[in-house]
Amino acid sequence: MTDPRDVIARRAAAELRPGEVVNLGIGIPNRIPAFLAPGVDVVLHTENGLLGIGPRPAAGAEDPDLIDAGKQPVTLLPGAAAFDSAASFAMIRGGHVDAVVLGALQVSEAGDIANWQVPGGKALGVGGAMDLVVGARRVIVTMTATTPEGAPKLVPACTLPLTARAAVSCVVTEHAVFRIDGGGLALVELLDGAGEEQVAAETGARYRVELG
């Protein structure tokens, strides 16, 4: 059986178009580059100040000045650029990043997202999450359909502290793809053999069905 995180990453990868500037959050989104179709060369942006990052370096070949926002060592592709944090977030907030793919704790049917503060207890780490969901042209959320306890993460309204309102345009779980627009949430695709009833059972939000 495929790791559900790979199911999600593979499908999220299909949301990206060649040449787009994309910022990938930590966790599932980091698996996306492995699933990009040949010729779909997205340009990876990392909010700590790089555009055009390449594969992970070989062990021992890390450059200590070259990390991504998850503090992992990276490499640069030819044509990469390096800049400071103020410039990097200017790019993000200014709408120059085509898509961000990131995880979430909850997404509401209006596209609100909560992804920086875990239930019960202050996380005290927000990093660039708020900037990215507000600024990126498309916000693609990759998350399992439910919490480990089985609670739906797609909810009528977020109960956790918000990251941003009406920001998410697409949600990919291990069982389904949803799109969100002014008209609300739409189930547009079933994944990995899941059925409509299963998706209904693990989704707390109202949604319409627009399976192609």
Partner 1 sequence: MAATRTTAAEAIREIPDGATIMVGGFGLVGAPLTLIDALVHGSDATDLTIISNNIGEPGRGLGLLLRQGRIRKAIASFFTSNPEAVEAAMSGAIAYELLPQGTLAEAIRAAGAGIRGFYTPVGAGTELAGGREERVIDGVPCVLMEPLRADVALVRAEWADGLGNLRYRLSAQNFNPAMASAATLTIAEAVEVLPVGGLEPESVHTPHLHVDRLVDAELSIGDVQGEGA
Hey, which residues are catalytic here? 47
Question: In the window 139-178, what residues touch partner 1 (CB under 8 A)?
Answer: 161-165
In single-letter form, the type of residue at position 51 comes to L
Q: How many residues does this entry show for the chain? A: 212
> Least distance to partner 1 from the beta carbon of 75, Å?
11
Q: What is the distance between the alpha carbons of residues 188 and 176, in angstroms, rounded to a whole number?
A: 8
> Least distance to partner 1 from the beta carbon of 114, Å?
9
Out of 38, 39, 125, 193, the only residue in the binding site for partner 1 (CB under 8 A) is 125
What are the CA-CA distances from residue 140 to residues 2, 106, 177 (Å)?
A: 21, 13, 10
> Least distance to partner 1 from the beta carbon of 54, Å?
12
Q: How many CB atoms lie within 10 A of CB 84?
A: 10
Q: Is 135 a binder of partner 1 (CB under 8 A)?
A: yes
Q: Is 181 a binder of partner 1 (CB under 8 A)?
A: no
Out of 94, 150, 183, 212, the only residue in the binding site for partner 1 (CB under 8 A) is 94
Q: What is the distance between the alpha carbons of residues 12 and 159, in angstroms, rounded to a whole number?
A: 25
- Which residues have C-beta within 8 Å of that of residue 4, sequence separation ≥ 6? 144, 174, 192
Q: Is 20 a binder of partner 1 (CB under 8 A)?
A: yes
Q: What is the distance between the alpha carbons of residues 51 and 76, in angstroms, rounded to a whole number?
A: 8
Out of 134, 151, 188, 190, the only residue in the binding site for partner 1 (CB under 8 A) is 134
Query: Which residue's CB is nearer to partner 1, number 26 or number 194?
Result: 26
Pairing of strands 21-24, 43-46: parallel
Which spans of this chain sit near partner 1 (rule: CB under 8 A)? Answer: 19-21, 43, 45-52, 63-69, 71, 76, 78-86, 88-98, 122-131, 134-135, 161-165
